[in-house]
Amino acid sequence: MTTKDKTFSKLITSYKDEGVSNLVQPFSKVISVGLRFFSKHQQVKVVNVPSTKKALQKRGFDPISLMTETACSLAGKRFIYEKRLLVNCRERQDQASLNFQQRILNTESAFKANFAEIKPVIIVDDLITTGSSVTQSIFALRAKKIKIKACVILASNH
């Protein structure tokens, strides 16, 4: 899906920033389809790109983690949500107002894998604009020799 569709873009904003919680189910259902497609019937661990501490405080909840955990439940038992595997290792700015170069600098070395994992991992994020958050998530997991199975993204700005 693309956020060029203003309605879909508004739905994502409503869910994340306005707390419209009834959107977690349809968004999670879309993500769960991607999880099942890429898992190829394997048991996998699932992580999401971590939100900033500032965003979590502002929102009062973690919409991406909630969506990812719900998607795993909908997708089936072979999908294990591992919230503590991929974490922030430094503060960063909210990406919304940043340009391409600023986003790259903002996310550089921003994440770390807390522990090694032998099962393949699928990374989930709500939106991809430049790919910098997902790229840095991949780097962090690979630094611990974790195999990345796929990335499942709810929507794209392209």
Query: For 23-65, what is each residue's pLDDT tens digit?
Result: 999 999 999 999 999 998 899 999 999 999 999 999 999 999 9
**How high is the mean pLDDT of the chain?**
92
Handedness of CA 103, 107, 109, 115 (dihedral sign): negative
Conformation bin of residue 48: beta by default, left when phi > 0, alpha when psi is -120 to 50: beta
Distances (CA, A) of 37 to 23, 33, 75: 22, 6, 10
133 pLDDT higher than 90: yes
pLDDT band at residue 93 under the 50/70/90 scheme: confident
Domains present along the chain, CATH in parentheses: 6-156 (3.40.50)
pLDDT band at residue 146 under the 50/70/90 scheme: very high
Over the stretch 98-123, which tens digit does the pLDDT of each residue have?
888 999 998 999 999 999 999 999 99
Euclidean distance between the first and the last CA atom of the chain, given in angstroms as a whole number: 9
pLDDT value of residue 4: 64
CB atoms within 10 A of CB 157: 11
CA 112, CA 90: separation in Å to the nearest integer? 9
78 pLDDT higher than 80: yes
85 pLDDT higher than 70: yes
